[in-house]
C-alpha cells in the first residue's frame, strides 16, 4: 500500500535559491519540450514516426544542457521527470481524457519530483544537489521505503510530499452508509450524522474581500501593491490549510468506521458553473474531500460505490418511493403526502443514495450498524460541529 506524508521544509537562504532554480528549470524543460514535440508532430504528421515520446526527449536533454549551462545545477533526474510528466499529459490528450498540454506558468503550482537518492538524517531531508540536507519539522518519522518525493511551494512555504510504501494493515470499518453532500450541511449520512461546514472559512472570506479591495486601490507594480499581494495570498493559504485540515478530519473518521460508502458521482465541474451554488460548493472543497475519502477507504480495502446523479435523490420519499415534485430548496424537512413520512431533507436524500448504491451492486438494504456515535465523537473531538439527527 502506498501512502503519502507531507512535511514542511525550512530551507536556508542559499537552499531557497537553489529550490527556486529547480522549480524554474523543471518548468523550463517542460515548456521547451512541449514546443519541440508540437513542432515535431506538425512536421511529421505523415511520416512513420509521427511524434516524440518521453525517451526521445530525455535523450535530447544533454544537448539542451550544453546550450543552457545553468541546467547543470539542477538534479538531472528531476529534469527527466518533468519530461515523463509531459509525456503523461500527451498520453491523456491522445486518449481524449484531457485537453492539449498547456505551457506551465510561474503562476501554476510550483513543484519538482525527486525520484531517487533521498535520505533523512536528524531532521534533515537529503536529496540530490542538497547533500547538506534541508531541515524539516514533523512529528512523524520519515518512512523507509520511499517511492518518490515531490517538492512543492505554497506562497512562501516549502513542503516535501513523501510517497512511500507500507506493510501496515488498517482494519476495515463495519458500517454501510450513503452520503449526501450539501450546502447548508457539509454532509449528511444515511445513519443520521450531519457534519456542519467550517465557520472559519466564512470569517476568512470577509477578511479576503477587505484585503482584495485594498489591493485594487494600490498602484499596480508598486512596492505597496506587492506587499498587499502577499497579504492576499496568505489569506488564500490560510483558507486552503483550514479546508484541507477539515477534509482530512471528516474523511478519516468516515473511512475508519465504515466498510461501504455510497456517494453521488457529482459532476463538480458542471455544477461549479452554476453560479448560484458555485461559491459555497467550491468553498467546501468537495472534490478534495472525495479524493481523500477514496484513497483512505482504499487503504482499508473498504468499498466506495459511486452512483450517477439522479434527480429524485432529494425529491423521492425514502419510505414509500413517492416523488414530490414541488419540493423547494428552502424546505428543510421532507413531508410525504402519500405515506405521511416526515424526515430531515438531507437525511432523506442520504438514505436514497444508500439504497441506489445497494441496487447498483445488487445487494439488499444493509443491516443498520450503529457506529455513527463513535464517528460523531471523533469528529467532535477534532473541533467540528456534528449533529445526530
Cβ nearer to Zn ion, comparing 180 with 372: 180
Rounded least distance, CB 324 to Zn ion, Å: 8
Helix (H, G, I), strand (E, B) or coil at 274: coil
Q: Compare residues 79 and 354 and give the one whose CB is closer to Zn ion.
A: 354
**Annotated catalytic, 346?**
yes
Q: Is 73 a catalytic residue?
A: no
Considering 87, 191, 346, 372, which one is annotated as catalytic? 346
H runs (alpha helix) in the chain: 13-44, 54-67, 76-94, 199-217, 223-257, 268-272, 275-284, 286-299, 345-360, 372-381
With the C-alpha atoms ordered 283, 287, 291, 296, is the resulting torsion angle positive or negative?
positive
**Could you give the 3-state DSSP secondary structure of residue 188?**
strand
Residue in this structure with the C-alpha cell 477534532, named with its chain if needed: 382
Range 35-67 burial, b when 16+ CB lie within 10 A, else e: ebbeebeeeeeeeeeeebebebbbeebeebbee
Active site residue 331: no
**Could you say which of 43, 56, 169, 180 is catalytic?**
180
Minimum Å gap between C-beta 363 and Zn ion is 23
76 or 319: CB nearest Zn ion: 319
Nearer to Zn ion by C-beta: 237 or 322?
322
Among residues 87, 191, 264, 378, the one annotated as catalytic is 264
Nearer to Zn ion, 148 or 322 (CB): 322
Cell reading at 273? 458553473
Helix, strand, or coil here: 318? coil
Least separation in angstroms between residue 359's CB and Zn ion is 18
**CB 278, min distance to Zn ion, A:** 32
> Least distance to Zn ion from the beta carbon of 200, Å?
38
Q: DSSP strand E in 78-141: where?
A: 110-114, 119-121, 124-127, 130-137
Largest CA distance in the chain: 79
- Cα torsion 75, 81, 83, 89: sign: negative
- Rounded Cα gap, residues 60 and 275, in angstroms: 46
Whether 151 and 19 have beta carbons less than 8 Å apart is answered as yes
Judged by the rule CB under 5 A, the positions of this chain that interact with Zn ion are: 317, 319-320, 322, 336, 338-339, 341
Residue 252 or 319 with smaller CB distance to Zn ion? 319
CB-wise, 113 or 353, nearer to Zn ion? 353
- Check: CB of residue 225 under 8 Å from CB of residue 218: yes
- Nearest approach in angstroms of CB 217 to Zn ion is 56
- Per DSSP, the three-state class of 381 is helix
Residue with cell 448504491: 357
- Can you read off the three cell numbers belonging to residue 212? 482584495
Question: Which residue do the cell numbers 549551462 mark?
Answer: 69
- Write down the least CB distance from residue 318 to Zn ion, Å: 8
Catalytically active residues are 180, 264, 346
Amino acid at each position: 500500500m502506498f501512502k503519502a506524508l507531507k512535511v514542511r521544509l525550512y530551507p536556508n537562504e542559499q537552499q531557497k535559491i537553489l529550490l527556486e532554480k529547480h522549480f524554474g528549470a523543471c518548468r523550463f524543460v517542460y515548456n521547451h519540450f512541449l514546443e519541440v514535440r508540437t513542432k515535431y508532430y506538425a512536421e511529421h504528421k505523415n511520416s512513420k514516426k509521427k511524434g516524440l515520446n518521453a525517451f526521445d526527449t530525455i535523450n535530447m536533454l544533454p544537448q539542451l544542457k550544453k546550450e543552457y549551462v545553468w541546467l547543470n545545477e539542477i538534479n538531472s533526474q528531476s529534469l527527466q521527470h518533468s519530461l515523463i510528466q509531459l509525456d503523461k499529459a500527451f498520453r491523456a490528450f491522445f486518449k481524449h481524457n484531457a485537453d492539449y498540454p498547456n505551457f506551465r506558468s510561474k503562476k501554476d503550482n510550483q513543484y519538482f519530483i525527486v525520484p531517487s537518492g533521498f535520505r533523512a538524517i536528524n531532521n534533515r531531508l537529503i536529496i540530490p544537489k542538497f547533500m547538506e540536507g534541508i531541515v524539516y519539522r514533523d512529528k512523524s518519522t520519515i518512512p523507509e521505503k520511499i517511492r518518490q518525493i515531490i517538492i512543492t511551494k505554497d506562497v512562501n512555504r516549502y513542503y516535501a510530499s513523501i510517497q512511500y510504501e507500507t506493510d501496515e494493515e488498517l482494519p476495515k470499518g463495519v458500517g454501510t452508509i450513503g452520503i449526501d453532500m450539501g450546502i447548508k450541511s457539509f454532509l449528511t449520512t444515511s445513519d443520521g450524522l450531519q457534519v456542519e461546514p467550517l465557520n472559519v472559512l466564512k470569517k476568512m472570506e470577509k477578511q479576503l474581500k477587505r484585503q482584495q479591495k485594498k489591493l485594487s486601490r494600490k498602484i499596480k507594480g508598486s512596492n505597496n501593491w506587492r506587499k498587499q499581494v502577499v497579504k492576499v495570498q496568505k489569506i488564500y493559504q490560510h483558507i486552503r490549510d483550514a479546508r484541507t485540515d477539515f477534509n482530512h478530519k471528516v474523511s478519516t473518521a468516515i473511512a475508519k468506521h465504515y466498510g461501504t460508502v455510497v456517494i453521488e458521482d457529482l459532476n463538480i465541474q458542471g455544477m461549479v458553473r452554476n453560479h448560484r451554488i458555485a461559491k459555497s460548493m467550491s468553498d467546501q472543497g468537495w472534490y478534495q474531500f472525495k479524493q481523500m475519502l477514496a484513497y483512505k477507504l482504499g487503504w482499508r480495502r473498504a468499498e466506495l460505490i459511486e452512483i450517477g446523479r439522479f434527480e429524485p435523490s432529494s425529491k423521492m420519499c425514502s419510505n414509500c418511493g413517492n416523488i414530490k415534485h414541488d419540493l423547494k430548496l428552502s424546505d428543510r424537512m421532507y413531508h410525504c403526502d402519500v405515506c405521511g413520512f416526515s424526515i430531515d431533507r438531507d437525511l432523506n436524500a442520504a438514505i436514497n443514495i444508500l439504497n441506489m448504491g445497494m441496487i447498483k451492486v445488487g445487494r439488499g438494504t444493509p443491516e443498520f450498524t450503529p457506529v455513527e456515535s463513535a464517528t460523531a465523537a471523533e469528529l467532535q473531538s477534532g473541533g467540528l460541529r456534528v449533529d445526530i439527527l
